[in-house]
Structure 1
Amino acid sequence: MYDWLIVGAGFAGSVLAERIATERDQKVLIIDRRPHIGGNAYDKYDDAGVLMHQYGPHIFHTNSDAIVEHLSKFTEWRPYEHRVLGRVDDKLVPIPINRTTLNELYGLDLKTDEDAAAFLESRAEPVEEIRTSEDVVVSKVGRELYEKFFRGYTQKQWGLDPSELDKSVTARVPTRTNTDDRYFTDTHQIMPKHGYTRMFERMLDHPNIQIMLNADFREVRETAQFKRLIFTGPIDEFFDFRFGRLPYRSLRFEHRSLEQEQFQPVATVNYPQTEDYTRITEYKHLTGQTHPNTTITYEYPAATGDPYYPVPRPENQELYRRYQALANETADVHFVGRLATYRYYNMDQVVGQALAEFRRIQESVPMYDTPPNGKAEARPAAVSPAVATGSSRALN
């Protein structure tokens, strides 16, 4: 008998498994349909001996000291500031757009932030109401830069024109007037020193945790004995697609090992104007590994395959809310993570969400269980037993 069945061994499931096993001293079975732990953050040494990310680049960045402190229990870190170049008009220029980008692209000599701001303002077009991703960009930098940097990339990534997508898609990408060419500006920009998989292995290395891989939830649910469930998979799948499928964009990865030390000047080069792929990533920039070979990944967006990105359109959010209502009515099931809450989260946000859900579990799920004979049985715990009854929760 397990106290908890956790479906999904990515960040959400693994963080909760470790917290429950450590702080509540309860038995956890964590399963994953893939043959490995770590979810999309899984990394490995390929046949050439290069540490690479199986599902595309995962760069850790956060402003949360608490999240870094928690994960530091399971890994050492190496500093890494991510830089991205874009192949635009046959030139490699910094992304996000900054003053250097403008100078190189247009042959300008903008010397100050004010110069760059004035240039962008002269290009910007007034938009009466900001509703779509196209509106966001055109209102900030004008249509020409929108066409060069955003439209083609977004069409490839989402299979939709930016005018058909919610404003949140491009609102996440800043435009700068300084020369800061870092992709992120968070306080903490770091990578697990020995890789993500090693961090997950240490996180799940607990006598109260059992791992089952290549496991289908529906089969395990019929055979395993457990009291409560944490589900981090697609929420529509949990409910047998009762209201229809929630739309996702997927990705296809083409990995190549090259007999050369370096392929490109930075970790990631975007291709907003040309090619079927959106970007090429070279992992040695991320990991700091010294090796005579290098490994790169071409990333192709796809309409089918593993779900990666919820498609941000109002009708999709409405469909999710119908599933969320079902989740809120489902006793002793907790829905956590990207797929279970139909939102795009960075890795640190998923960790934060999982830690927040654990605090709610501590407050609402009792440490006392009532077995079939009706006699209350206390389990040892590292915390005082709660008194409220457990309930399902779909996080916002």
Structure 2
Amino acid sequence: MDRWLVVGAGFAGAVLAERLASQLGALVTVIDRRPHIAGNAYDRRDAAGVLMHQYGPHIFHTNSEAVFEYLSQFTAWRFYEHRVLAVVDGQLTPIPINLTTVNQLYGLSLEPDELEAWFAARAEPVAEICTSEDVVVSRVGRELYEKFFRGYTRKQWGLDPSELDKSVTARVPVRTDRDDRYFQDRFQFMPRDGYTAMFEQMLNHPSIEVRLGVDYKEVAGEFEDAQVIFTGPIDEFFDFRFGALPYRSLRFEHVTLDQEQFQPVGTVNYPQTEAYTRITEYKHLTGQEHPKTTLTYEYPTAEGDPYYPIPRAENRALYKRYEALALETPRVHFVGRLASYQYYNMDQVVAQALATFRRIAEAR
């Protein structure tokens, strides 16, 4: 029987463990240095009994029917479309920027067909779009860039948007209609009973053993004959041979209030004020009815757990050196956000893990 060691019990690790056990009959050991499964998607009921996300909000959305159908084996769903407001010039206004945002901030009554011209009149021509600043000013001009993007980006990344790759702000669309949903994907749902419950179902297989609070280097000797799925930081796997890959981290402040609701939507962003970037209120996401409510304040930091690969050309070049080592490493498959040094959404990690499994199965 094939023996596999899966390092990391987040999406990449759990999907591959489940597929290897259920489809190939492999014997799988899953380890995670944290005391829980589900990686950054881990959710739990806090002391007040409110279901909250330990590592900040995780909102599932995908256009992939295959990914949605795969995960549907392990959870029922709650329909949920995420909405975000930003505190700008003292007002709560929709983000991504849309028709309502512009009309509200500027006291206008534009129609959708007029907004495109309004943006065009303010947009600054950029010969070659390379940075996050270029993306925004070339689309909507400098004033909206300053109001919505510059301060938030500087807090989030510790860098000015002019120093960051265009991919950062390209993730946030600008709309000319009144659509105030944060995402426009076909499938927008939350696991009905939470993410941790979904992961428990994924890993509930007689051929899967889960060990928590365990570091890879502590047990690697036990698995010298096993194939390995590694979902941790790729630079750490190679003992930082070429130096550490740069990441941004987050500090979370969880607060429970003795009131039913704190804010009108799931997340409120603070691009102009405060040291934190956003506040999330989980009952909007989960639909839980409870007399109290729990919030998370997010403070970006330079130190701590690796969350966001910093998208700059020199960092990508450093990753490529580690990737070359990974391709030469027998029996080890590097999968997931940290192993790929790539900012993936949850559905993208699931898709990558399923594709990796297909390659493994075909190689047999």
TM over 0.5: yes
Could you tell me which runs of 5 or more consecutive residues in structure 2 were left unpaired when the two chains were aligned: none
Show the 5 A alignment for 1:43-58.
43-58=43-58
Tell me by how many angstroms 1:226 deviates.
Answer: 4.3
Tell me by how many angstroms 1:118 deviates.
Answer: 1.1
Partner of 2:205: 206
Q: Per-residue CA shift, 1:159-191, capped at 9, x if unaligned? A: 000000001100111000000000000000000
Could you tell me whether the CA contact under 8 Å between 1:83 and 1:181 is conserved in 2?
yes
Tell me by how many angstroms 1:349 deviates.
Answer: 0.3
Q: Per-residue CA shift, 1:1-53, capped at 9, x if unaligned? A: 97000000000000000000000111000000000000000000000000000
Could you tell me whether the CA contact under 8 Å between 1:2 and 1:225 is conserved in 2?
no
- Quick one: distance in 1 between partners of 2:224 and 2:120? 62
Please say which structure displays the higher CA radius of gyration.
1
Partner of 2:352: 353
Moved over 6 A (4+): none
- Quick one: distance in 2 between partners of 1:222 and 1:165? 41
- Quick one: distance in 2 between partners of 1:268 and 1:116? 26
- Quick one: distance in 2 between partners of 1:14 and 1:286? 23
Partner of 1:34: 34
- Quick one: distance in 1 between partners of 2:128 and 2:333? 38
Secondary structure at the residue paired with 1:229? Answer: strand
Structure 1 vs Structure 2: percent identity of aligned residues? Answer: 72
Tell me by how many angstroms 1:224 deviates.
Answer: 4.3
- Quick one: distance in 2 between partners of 1:226 and 1:265? 54
Tell me by how many angstroms 1:227 deviates.
Answer: 1.5
Counterparts in 2 of 1:226 and 1:212: CA distance versus 1, 3 Å: farther
Could you tell me which runs of 5 or more consecutive residues in structure 1 were left unpaired when the two chains were aligned: 365-385, 387-396
1:7 maps to a residue whose letter is V
Show the 5 A alignment for 1:233-248.
233-248=232-247
Tell me by how many angstroms 1:225 deviates.
Answer: 5.4
Show the 5 A alignment for 1:218-233.
218-224=217-223, 226-233=225-232
Show the 5 A alignment for 1:215-364.
215-224=214-223, 226-364=225-363
- Quick one: distance in 1 between partners of 2:168 and 2:256? 32
- Quick one: distance in 2 between partners of 1:298 and 1:227? 42
Partner of 1:71: 71
Tell me by how many angstroms 1:220 deviates.
Answer: 1.0
Tell me by how many angstroms 1:304 deviates.
Answer: 0.6
Partner of 2:109: 109
Secondary structure at the residue paired with 2:226? Answer: strand
TM-score by length of 1: 0.91
1:349 maps to a residue whose letter is Q
Partner of 1:176: 175
Partner of 1:375: none
CA RMSD of aligned residues (A): 0.9
Partner of 1:4: 4
TM-score by length of 2: 0.99
Could you tell me whether the CA contact under 8 Å between 1:11 and 1:350 is conserved in 2?
yes
Secondary structure at the residue paired with 2:82? Answer: coil
- Quick one: distance in 2 between partners of 1:145 and 1:138? 8
Q: Per-residue CA shift, 1:231-258, capped at 9, x if unaligned? A: 0000000000000000000000000000
Q: Per-residue CA shift, 1:84-105, capped at 9, x if unaligned? A: 0000000000000000000100
- Quick one: distance in 1 between partners of 2:357 and 2:130? 36
Tell me by how many angstroms 1:129 deviates.
Answer: 1.1
1:168 maps to a residue whose letter is S
Could you tell me whether the CA contact under 8 Å between 1:8 and 1:32 is conserved in 2?
yes
Tell me by how many angstroms 1:223 deviates.
Answer: 3.4
The size of the alignment, in residue pairs, is: 364
Are 2:17 and 1:17 equivalent residues in the alignment?
Answer: yes
Counterparts in 2 of 1:221 and 1:2: CA distance versus 1, 3 Å: farther
